[in-house]
Amino acid sequence: MEEQLSELTTYANALWVLVSAALVFFMHAGFALVESGFCRRKNAVMVLMKNFGVVAISSLIFYLVGYGVMFGEGNAFMGLAKFFPANGGADADLPPYVFLFFQLVFAATACTIVSGAIAERGRLLTFFLFTALATMLIYPVVGHWVWGGGWLAWPSQAPSSSDPALASTCRTAQSGPCPPTTSRSPRLAC
């Protein structure tokens, strides 16, 4: 009976995490609509393409490199293991790939927030390079400091506890748009 209850708890936790991740994933559609609504008509397709490309690029990069930097064993600055996680990076009582998908959608969301800050201001290739860099190093390193066992982690805090993605997304989004937006001209001057 206790084994069945444990299995049911695992499935319920996985379902909750997947529903939460799906809601965050659908935020990309909302960001795309808001950004295309706030830009000029001639740039709407480019804004939509940036939002689609962010999800594609950040998904691949976070799976290949970012997850290992965020949750891999390493030093207090960054993780140096678990690259290309074979079991989906399931550290907790979650099925494989559920925890990875949850973290991946937040990494992509951090870059999508930056997309809105530089809408109509930057080139597509430059933004995609920023997306790759942010998903490979910026977001995962900040996440590792707090939830991957880095120098800001509480001694009793496991990497998968609480809500690591949300706070890391907020920190990345707060620091991410500053350099591109301060160095570019206003939108209507383009």
CA distance 136 to 29: 23
Q: What is the pLDDT of residues 111-167, one digit of tens each?
A: 998 988 888 888 999 999 999 999 999 999 999 998 888 888 766 554 444 555 545
Closest CA to 48 of 27, 34, 61, 59: 34
What number does CATH give the domain 2-184?
Answer: 1.10.3430.10
Domain ranges across the chain: 2-184
Residue 91: the pLDDT is 58
Residue 2: the pLDDT is 84
CA distance 53 to 102: 19
pLDDT surpasses 60 at 7: yes
